Amino acid sequence: MDLTTLRERLALVPPDAIAALATSDDAQDLSRGPAVAAAVLVPILHGARPGILLTKRSATLKSHAGQVAFPGGRIEGTDASIEAAALREAEEEVGLPPRHVEVVGRLPDYLTGTGFRISPVLALLPDGLALTPSEAEVEAIFTLPLSVLLDPDAPERRRALFRGRMREFWVWPHPEHYIWGATAAILVHLAHRLRARDGLDARAVAVAAQ
């Protein structure tokens, strides 16, 4: 990536959407007022083309418009649990039937500068499902290959000034989409968890996943 491209991409970063672990010092002063509870489904595809399912949000949405995100949204009073909220949102946004989803756990909550406390729900689902994006909410559905996720050199650490102090955030490489903010931070946490399994060498795992 040349310097011109790097500057252009950094200029597109809205400084009010930087995310941090809700329990970390980086979360201080990140959001004003009580955070809105939200749940996202982190779908890990297994099969011939393993990867992480992601969406690009519609440019017409009120929050995080046009950004890369996991399927998800606010937790409603009618949701029986955080997992139920994530599954409901995934079905609404990308037409993912809950019967195809195997929920396997969660990652720690993340706080965003736009006032959301995001609970990531980890799930397994087979590659090749026919998904349909919601015209009102989702512009595109795509995947980040598992080999990229498991490459420790793939994500970049960048910085931006927000409310008087510098904050750092992650960016993942993709040929078409800019993956950053809460979504990128969740992916980094997921990558660390997957690479740490059984003490396997990260680069060896990445090669094996191709």
167-193, pLDDT tens digit by residue?
788 899 999 899 988 899 999 988 888
SS3 (DSSP) at 122: strand
Instruction: Specify the CATH number of the domain 3-209.
Output: 3.90.79.10
For the question of whether the overall pTM of this predicted structure is more than 0.95, the answer is no
pLDDT at 199: 42
Q: What is the mean pLDDT of the chain?
A: 78
**Could you tell me if 64 and 139 are in contact, meaning their C-beta atoms sit under 8 angstroms apart?**
no
Going by C-alpha positions, the residue among 106, 85, 110 that lies closest to residue 23 is 110
Residue 111: its H or E element:
strand 110-112
Going by C-alpha positions, the residue among 20, 8, 38, 210 that lies closest to residue 116 is 38
pLDDT at 22: 67
Report the first-to-last Cα separation within the chain, whole angstroms. 23
Residues 83-142 have pLDDT tens digits of 999 999 999 999 999 999 999 888 889 888 778 889 999 998 888 888 998 878 888 999
